[in-house]
Structure 1
Amino acid sequence: MNIVTSYRDNQAAIRNPVGSEAVGGTEGPSVLEQYLRIARRWRWVIAGAIAGCFLIGLVITLLTTPQYTADATIEISRESDQVTNFKGVEREASVTDQEFYQTQYGLLKSRTLAERVATELRLVDDPKFFEMFGVADQDVPAYKISNGHYPAQGRAQRQRDAGQILLDRVGIDPTRLSRLVDIRFTSPDAGFSAKVVNAWAENFIKTNLERKIQATSYGRNVLQRQLAEYKNRLDESQRQMVAYASKEQIIDLPTQTNANGSTTGDRSIVVDNLAALNTALNQATTERIAAESRYRRAGGDGASPEALGNTAINNLRQRRAELAAQYQQLMVRFEPEYPQAKAIKSQIDALDRSITREESRVSGSLQSDYRQALMREQELENRVKALKGDYLDLRRRSIQYNIYKQEVDTNRALYDGLLQRFKEIGVAAGVGVNNVSIVDTADIPEKPSSPRLLLNLLISIVVGIALGSGAALALEQLDEAIADPAEVERRLGLPLLGSVPRTSNDQTPRQALLDRKSELVDAYIAIQTNLRFTTEHGVPRSFSVTSTRPAEGKSTTSIALATVLARAGKRVILIDGDMRSPSVHHWGGVGHERGVSNFLAGEEDISKLTFEIADLGLTAMTAGPIPPNAAELLTGNRLSILIERLLETYDHVIVDSPPVMGLADAPLIASRVEGVVYAVESHGIRSSQVKTALNRLAAANVHIFGGVLTKFEARKAHYGYGYEYGYGYGRDDRDAKSA
């Protein structure tokens, strides 16, 4: 892309300069460079903020009352030691540990604990305590001292205030990943701080224990009411069971312990009788079978076991055997009629009768025993049958009885369980186990914890830096001045033709122009070079130089451009178009009695209206007499005729135009020339004003070649080191050589 094309693109941006961006895509500075530039530009604001904050921090630190901080360490266990085998109703802690400890930290900062500490240390009625913290106000009835004491009516309010004072100055700092908690308190009195911290820890332990006791007492009261209720239920169920048993004649024997140590429940008397009778029946049956067996074995031959075992029968048989033996001996020698043999025979017969009689008696006894055993067995069978009927009837009548009995057993079990729980709660309440203990008590601090001079000063400096930086950024945002050449394109949308440095105080612009080695001459030579690329035929043959308001350097720019063009061998004429405040005639040391206004009024002889500025090598035309209304003279075509006639003689016609704002002259002049060179004062005018002026020119279809940044100071620029290098490069070397 050539320069002319770039120039045409820039003109499109000029027609709508407000909000437009620089054309050309020049890469901007980095964020760090921008912040450094802002810091350099507003360094005194930042330094003032730092110094002010430093002084304020120093004064506040020196005037602040020393504060002393005492601290104590306590341990909070999750579970207390198990002295009894009693288990509470709370579930085992697992994921709820954090909730438990957060609850404990909240209790350490509770208002009730603070008021309790204040009451224990007798701070509620201590005027020195409230004066120490600046709370005592005689206008408040609760703090109105009478006879050296506070009134009793305001004690509740003082207690709340004292607790709040302690709460505001106490700190609870749990140690991470541990059960330790630090309690800190800060006050102007070191001993008081230690006293409050120790009292705080001790009262927390006491309140923790009291809460457990209260919870236990509440549990005891609840269980006591439940015990009374279940005792009534048990008594009522027992009465129902006994009344029903009496009505239905159900008799249960008490519980007994078996031989193996186990116990049996209540049993009915019918069951016991049936069992006893059944046992007796079995025994009677056995005896009857044995008697019947003996009776069946007994016969008429006397060979029954009972007969054989009978002593009398055996004695009789033995006597008979002896007599029979004697009788057989006699029969060997004598006849049966032998008297002795006969006598022995009669004895044998008598013995046989006796044996028969004894055998009959034994046989009758066995029969009698059999009959008795049979009768007893039958009697027992009848009684067992009767008891079975009674037992079945008892079973039927015992259904409701068992229901009552089960209810009695259930109520008794509940009552016994509650009674055992009640006893265990009483034991736990008497033990008084606490899960909070003091690890380190608070010692009286020897050094104040605040104010800390070095820390406060460091904080003051940091705050000063922050405030100064914020102020610098705010001022930078509010500042609309054009700080460096890059902003001419970025803020205004104007192509930058060049920047002109501010002349030193000991050198006038005329002297700088006469010094061909000056930075001012170098700057305008660069601007003239850039003007060569604004049109297809090089430097515009006719153009005006204007600005937003007066004293921005437009007249100096006009004369300087005319000078450098004249030194380049061009024939140049400078016209003072500012007929309201002319200045060009001062450069030639002449008056402005004749000039542009004369020609615009109808005079034709141009040669009488011009004068030479010999030292600068150019011709100039003054503004002429100041007309009543310069704008009316410029509305005609006389200015166009003047420029056309001058271009017949001169290579370039430069018009020093009046400023744009508030006047119609500048747009009228600009419409008669090829274009405008716009002068913008560095750090002297707001960019919004320049945009408004450019909009006026754009509305008149004025062709703007570009902007010239005047009175530029590199040290105030955003990136001044680059521009300063460009203007000053080789200057010292040439000055040294010339010297």
Structure 2
Amino acid sequence: MVPSEPPRPAATARARGYTYPGEEEGVHFWDFWHVLNCRRWTVISSCVVTVIAVTIWTFTTHPVYTGTATLRIEKEEPHVVKFDEVVKDADSQQDYYQTQYKLLQSRTLANRVIGLLQLDRHPDFQQPERGRGWLTQAETRFRQWLVRWAPVPPPPAPEETEDLALASPLTSAVLSRLLIEPVRSSRLVRISFESHFPDLAARVPNALADAFIAQQLDQKVEATRYATQFLATQLDETRDRLGEAEGKLNRFLKANNILFIAGGDKTSQAQDLITQQLTLLSDGWLKARSERIAKESLLAQGNTQDVGTLPAVLQNTLVSKLREDLAALESEYEKLSQVFKPGYPHMRQLAEKIAESRRQLRTEIDRAAQAVQADYQAALRTEQELEGALAQQRLQAGGLADNMAKYNLLRREVDTSRDLYSSLLARLRETQISAALFTSNISIVDRAEIS
């Protein structure tokens, strides 16, 4: 009997699934099959668990749809009218766009969309446990059971306020599904929304875009309304100040008897009138003074010399005629005196004529001298009157500076109030026009569509 050989270590190791380093090249398919056969229940269990998990996930998971709308946001608004808007945005380019992105994610805008689409009644937001893990669902059910068996008094219901509306879970749920994605190197921004309902995934981005544009316009309308009320109030106050200033100016003009010719600079008119009057009075006074001096010289000449030698007497035609007649009578009397004696009747008549002629000549000379005296007195009175008027005019010219200073002050107040009133009135009209011509710098490039 041949004794059996003990098993070799290599065969025993291969049977147990082990190999030596030197035997690696001797491993073949049946070795793997032997290992799998030994671990078959482990492999089968893993496959079954995986299939069951995938099946459960496939049947319990709802498809998620994403709707995307694209907006274009311009920094500057298109100008329909030539004047500026009431409210100007002075932010920088980067700050402006970052602000717009945050506004797109604001709770106020989300609540506006919720109200427009009535999302509180939509099935996608009426099943809060959809998509939540089974641990979370179990925790919720446990809390409900605990509250049912150990009731606690409910907290007092808070008052319905705008802050509570902004902090509602529905708003948070909507914002959690919303994605605002700016497109690099452009003025475009994408608005994406995820939902289990394809129509809702498209409606929410579109509604959000429309609501955002409407919100921007509403803010401008509100700012314009406030500006219109403010300008109207300022306009009424300015109108009252203008009326009061004009009343003060008119009372000042009447009190100081200041009159102006229509048109032109009022201050220049007053100064020109005073200057013209001063010039006229000064010229008249100088002329009257010269005439008075000339007549005074003639009068003095008549006092020191024979009155008959005065130029006024020598230039008197009647005096000249009487002198010619007297010379003729004296010449005739001289001739006849060589023939007749003075007692001769004709000589006596001729002597009487000569005496009468001399008397008339003296009378006319005296009358001419009196005319010189009268002319001197008239010239003296004229000079004195003009001198008084000139002095009075100089006083008025001196007081004109004070009156014009007060007048200019009142006039500037009137002009300032009138300019301010005109400016406010024009601005109010522009604001009212701009309110009807509001345009938005935000436009929808692509609307979200149901696919």
Relative to the length of structure 2, the TM-score reads: 0.55
* Letter of the 2:442 counterpart: S
Contact 2:246 2:414 in 1 (8 A): no
2:67 — aligned with what?
A: 69
* Letter of the 2:124 counterpart: M
Report the alpha carbon displacement of residue 375 of structure 1 after superposing the two structures with TM.
2.9
**Kindly tell me: are residues 390 and 410 of structure 1, through their superposed partners in 2, closer, same or farther at Cα, counting changes over 3 Å?**
closer
Distance in 1 between residues matched to 2:77 and 2:56, nearest whole Å: 50
Report the alpha carbon displacement of residue 85 of structure 1 after superposing the two structures with TM.
4.0
Structure having the higher strand fraction is: 1
Report the alpha carbon displacement of residue 346 of structure 1 after superposing the two structures with TM.
8.1
2:81 to 80, 83, 90: 83
Counting only pairs closer than 5 Å after superposition, residues 610-621 of structure 1 correspond to structure 2 as: none
2:124 counterpart of 1:132 = yes
Counting only pairs closer than 5 Å after superposition, residues 405-484 of structure 1 correspond to structure 2 as: 406=409, 413=416, 417=420, 420-421=423-424, 423-432=426-435, 433-442=438-447, 444-445=449-450, 447=451
Counting only pairs closer than 5 Å after superposition, residues 224-263 of structure 1 correspond to structure 2 as: 251=256, 253=258, 257=262, 261-263=264-266
Kindly provide the CA deviation profile for residues 252-304 of structure 1, in whole angstroms up to 9, marking residues without a partner as x: 6366556xx22329979xx9899958854652443232243245357534663
Distance in 1 between residues matched to 2:357 and 2:170, nearest whole Å: 133
* Letter of the 2:105 counterpart: K
Report the alpha carbon displacement of residue 203 of structure 1 after superposing the two structures with TM.
2.6
Contact 1:194 1:443 in 2 (8 A): yes
Report the alpha carbon displacement of residue 131 of structure 1 after superposing the two structures with TM.
0.4
Distance in 2 between residues matched to 1:177 and 1:154, nearest whole Å: 44
Secondary structure in 2 aligned to 1:253? coil
Distance in 1 between residues matched to 2:69 and 2:313, nearest whole Å: 111
2:99 — aligned with what?
A: 103
Report the alpha carbon displacement of residue 211 of structure 1 after superposing the two structures with TM.
1.5
**Kindly tell me: are residues 255 and 394 of structure 1, through their superposed partners in 2, closer, same or farther at Cα, counting changes over 3 Å?**
closer
Kindly provide the CA deviation profile for residues 640-685 of structure 1, in whole angstroms up to 9, marking residues without a partner as x: xxxxxxxxxxxxxxxxxxxxxxxxxxxxxxxxxxxxxxxxxxxxxx
2:214 to 195, 206, 210: 206
Distance in 2 between residues matched to 1:71 and 1:378, nearest whole Å: 99
Report the alpha carbon displacement of residue 221 of structure 1 after superposing the two structures with TM.
4.1
Kindly provide the CA deviation profile for residues 325-351 of structure 1, in whole angstroms up to 9, marking residues without a partner as x: 8998x8999777799999999878877
Counting only pairs closer than 5 Å after superposition, residues 589-608 of structure 1 correspond to structure 2 as: none
Distance in 2 between residues matched to 1:229 and 1:84, nearest whole Å: 27
Contact 2:239 2:421 in 1 (8 A): no
**Kindly tell me: are residues 336 and 200 of structure 1, through their superposed partners in 2, closer, same or farther at Cα, counting changes over 3 Å?**
farther
Distance in 1 between residues matched to 2:161 and 2:94, nearest whole Å: 38
**Kindly tell me: are residues 158 and 413 of structure 1, through their superposed partners in 2, closer, same or farther at Cα, counting changes over 3 Å?**
closer
Kindly provide the CA deviation profile for residues 560-594 of structure 1, in whole angstroms up to 9, marking residues without a partner as x: xxxxxxxxxxxxxxxxxxxxxxxxxxxxxxxxxxx
Counting only pairs closer than 5 Å after superposition, residues 260-299 of structure 1 correspond to structure 2 as: 261-264=264-267, 280=281, 283-297=284-298
Q: CA RMSD in A?
A: 5.8
2:373 — aligned with what?
A: 367
Contact 2:323 2:361 in 1 (8 A): no
2:25 — aligned with what?
A: none
How many residues in Structure 1 have an aligned counterpart in Structure 2?
Answer: 359
Distance in 2 between residues matched to 1:439 and 1:220, nearest whole Å: 30
Contact 2:70 2:188 in 1 (8 A): no
2:192 — aligned with what?
A: 184
* Higher-Rg member (1/2): 1
Secondary structure in 1 aligned to 2:223? helix
Distance in 2 between residues matched to 1:75 and 1:382, nearest whole Å: 82
2:112 — aligned with what?
A: 116
1:615 — aligned with what?
A: none
* Letter of the 1:107 counterpart: L
* Letter of the 1:217 counterpart: R
Contact 2:193 2:201 in 1 (8 A): yes
Kindly provide the CA deviation profile for residues 159-213 of structure 1, in whole angstroms up to 9, marking residues without a partner as x: 9555444433333333334433333344445554444334333332222222223
Report the alpha carbon displacement of residue 424 of structure 1 after superposing the two structures with TM.
0.6
Distance in 1 between residues matched to 2:58 and 2:311, nearest whole Å: 138
Counting only pairs closer than 5 Å after superposition, residues 124-163 of structure 1 correspond to structure 2 as: 127=121, 130-135=122-127, 160=168, 163=171
Secondary structure in 2 aligned to 1:183? strand
Kindly provide the CA deviation profile for residues 305-344 of structure 1, in whole angstroms up to 9, marking residues without a partner as x: 7964x6x54xx7469769978998x899977779999999
Unmatched tracts of structure 2, length 5 or more: 1-45, 130-139, 141-158
| Identical columns (%) | 22
Out of 412-421 and 215-224, give the one that drifted further: 412-421
* Letter of the 2:207 counterpart: A
Kindly provide the CA deviation profile for residues 122-157 of structure 1, in whole angstroms up to 9, marking residues without a partner as x: 4156x3xx20344479x9xxxxxxxxxxxxx99988
**Kindly tell me: are residues 370 and 327 of structure 1, through their superposed partners in 2, closer, same or farther at Cα, counting changes over 3 Å?**
closer
**Kindly tell me: are residues 417 and 77 of structure 1, through their superposed partners in 2, closer, same or farther at Cα, counting changes over 3 Å?**
same
Between the two structures, name the one with larger relative contact order (CA 8 Å, sep ≥ 6). Answer: 2
Distance in 2 between residues matched to 1:213 and 1:373, nearest whole Å: 82
Secondary structure in 2 aligned to 1:431? helix
**Kindly tell me: are residues 334 and 390 of structure 1, through their superposed partners in 2, closer, same or farther at Cα, counting changes over 3 Å?**
closer
1:727 — aligned with what?
A: none
1:514 — aligned with what?
A: none
Secondary structure in 2 aligned to 1:264? helix
* Letter of the 2:311 counterpart: S
Relative to the length of structure 1, the TM-score reads: 0.37
* Letter of the 2:423 counterpart: Q
Report the alpha carbon displacement of residue 57 of structure 1 after superposing the two structures with TM.
12
Distance in 2 between residues matched to 1:170 and 1:306, nearest whole Å: 124
Counting only pairs closer than 5 Å after superposition, residues 574-653 of structure 1 correspond to structure 2 as: none
**Kindly tell me: are residues 114 and 323 of structure 1, through their superposed partners in 2, closer, same or farther at Cα, counting changes over 3 Å?**
same
1:304 — aligned with what?
A: 311
Counting only pairs closer than 5 Å after superposition, residues 665-680 of structure 1 correspond to structure 2 as: none
Kindly provide the CA deviation profile for residues 423-479 of structure 1, in whole angstroms up to 9, marking residues without a partner as x: 51452243133452315241524x4xxxxxxxxxxxxxxxxxxxxxxxxxxxxxxxx
Distance in 2 between residues matched to 1:323 and 1:378, nearest whole Å: 42
Secondary structure in 2 aligned to 1:70? strand
Distance in 2 between residues matched to 1:57 and 1:324, nearest whole Å: 168
Secondary structure in 1 aligned to 2:447? coil
Report the alpha carbon displacement of residue 99 of structure 1 after superposing the two structures with TM.
1.5
* Letter of the 2:374 counterpart: S
* Letter of the 2:376 counterpart: Y
Unmatched tracts of structure 1, length 5 or more: 1-47, 140-152, 448-739
* Letter of the 1:169 counterpart: R
Distance in 2 between residues matched to 1:273 and 1:385, nearest whole Å: 13
